[in-house]
Structure formats: structure tokens, C-alpha cells
Chains A and B, each alone.
Chain A
């Protein structure tokens, strides 16, 4: 069964706006990762946040993790048309392999 559930399923914004995607999960984790996938392509790792971290930044990306609520958010600031893609959270449980959520499809309009 899937561990992570992203919200919203689809998001459409204008270039320059910020995009926020949320991920909820069910069991305890070692870390949580975010990946991007352009249509029909492979996944690209964006950022990893460990269970003892609360916030992490990478360029225009900001990830938060709330282990008490079992949730994470990915914020993309000043979005660009090139950010158009599907975004997946992936949880690394204490036992077992990485589990991907259903994904959020982001569309950034120029």
C-alpha cells in the first residue's frame, strides 16, 4: 500500500507565483524525499529531509517535515514554466523500501 499521499493532485499557477504541495504518510520514517518527473521521463531527486529535521532549503525549494502530523510540504518559490512536472514524495520507512506517493501534477503557465 502507498505510504505517501500528495495534495493537491493537480495544481495550476502562473509563472512567478509560489507552488505548495503537501504529502501525508502513515508510518514512522527515516527520511522523506521529493522527486520531480517531467512527462514520460525518469524521476529526478530534488531534496531529502531526515526525520530529525524540520526544514530544509535547496535553491527555490523549501521542504518542511512535521513528524507529529506525519506530513511534509514542498514549496517552490518564483515558479517558472520549466517547473511544470509531476512531483512525488517518497517515504523511507524504518523497515522496507522507498514508497512513492501518488504525485502532484504542477502546471506553470507563462
Chain B
């Protein structure tokens, strides 16, 4: 069982909707990540938070807005999405932002469909 919990597991939304994806971890990790994964593709990094501060934004469109309320929670706010944004959104955490030296713990993902 994963120790990173993502909700909801599935989300269907229209292009004018506002919704949020949530991620929670209680491993004391200080770095959290959002990845986007299209079918049959590898995960692509979107955002990295380190000690609750946004440290990496991989040129993600502003219709995706991350938020880290505290060290255990990570949100991804969605607004005015396009059908091509349909994908599996994965949250991950690591002990520190030095992902270069450690493993990532992934949640099970939120499957997003934009109509």
C-alpha cells in the first residue's frame, strides 16, 4: 500500500469547471511533486515543492495552480482545462528535495478526464 494518498481517484470535468486534486503524505517528507502521465508515456514533472515552497515549475500552463498548505499536503487546482489535459496526475514525495540522492514515493494517481 502506498503511503501517499491521492484524491479523487477519478475526476471528470468540463472545460469551464474548477476542481482540485489533493495529495497527502505522513512520512515526514519535505519535498512533494506533481507529475503528469499520458497513456503509454513516462511521467513528466510539473511542479516541485521543497519545505512548502515552490522550487520547480516546469513551464506548466497557468490553468494548473499548485498549492502546498503544509508539509503533508499538496493540492493541484484546475481551471479552464483543455481535453488534451486528460491524463493520470501523480503525486510523489521524497525525504528532501534532493531527489538526486533518494527515491520517490508515489501515490496511486488521479485519473482526470476533461470533456
List residues of chain A with CB under 8 Å of any chain B CB: 2, 30-31, 33, 35, 40-45, 48, 88, 92-94, 96-98, 100-103
Contacts and interface: CB of A to CB of B under 8 A. Distances in A.
B42 A103 contact: yes
Contacts of A100: 42-43
Given A88-B42, A100-B43, A42 B101 contact: no
A42 B108 contact: yes
Contacts of B42: 2, 88, 100-103
Interface of B: 2, 4, 6, 41-43, 45, 48, 56, 88, 90, 92, 99-109, 111
Contact of A98 (B99, B105, B108): B99
A110 to B, nearest CB: 24
Main secondary structure of the interface of B (DSSP, over half): mixed
A98 B43 CA distance: 10
A98 B108 CA distance: 19
B25 to A, nearest CB: 12
Contact of B56 (A92, A94, A97, A103): A97
A92 B99 CA distance: 7
B58 to A, nearest CB: 9
23 contacts: A30-B100, A31-B100, A31-B101, A40-B109, A41-B108, A42-B107, A42-B108, A43-B43, A43-B90, A43-B92, A43-B106, A48-B103, A88-B42, A92-B99, A93-B100, A94-B100, A96-B100, A97-B100, A98-B104, A100-B42, A100-B43, A102-B42, A103-B42
